Amino acid sequence: MALSRDQLIAFMKKWNTAWDNYDIDGVAAGFTDDAVFENWTGGVLQGKEAIAKAWGPWFAHNGGFKFHFEDLFVDQAAQKVLFRWSLSWPSLEKAYEGKPEVRRGVDVITFKDGLISEKLTYSKTTLEIEGQRVALAAA
């Protein structure tokens, strides 16, 4: 089942609301059982259950993170969206632990049968902490 442009936009808004509410079940429900997630370091997770398990700790403590919806590009024919975002959260970077951090990136998301089958995440190699640009630590 292919989603219309409006349905893809509505899906992304609902999915982002699940992130805002730290609702791991709502986020995971957006994936196909065999979904693939590749993070900004190149790490790959296969399957909805593996993705939910890996992201669980973020959600467990209402992690203080927030994705800010910046822009959305929709290709209905290809069933893909490009989601541009910024993430604010307590930094994990050495010497900045716990300080407010802003990271920017994009997700290239592919849909199959109305759900996310692939999510590829790309992030800038610098982030902002205390108004300063900071290079990401090597992974």
For 40-43, the CB contacts below 8 A with 24+ separation are 40/105, 40/121, 40/122, 40/123, 41/139, 42/139
**Residue 112: CB partners within 8 Å, gap ≥ 6?**
32, 79
pLDDT digits (tens, 9 = 90+) for 79-116: 999 999 999 988 878 888 888 889 899 999 999 999 99
pTM: 0.89
Domain that holds residue 52: 5-135
pLDDT digits (tens, 9 = 90+) for 11-53: 999 999 999 999 999 999 999 999 999 998 899 999 999 999 9
pLDDT of residue 77: 98
Residue 5 has a CB neighbour count (10 Å cut-off) of 12
**Residue 128: CB partners within 8 Å, gap ≥ 6?**
101, 102, 103, 134
- Indicate which CATH number applies to the domain containing 19: 3.10.450.50
Based on the structure, what is the number of domains in the chain?
1
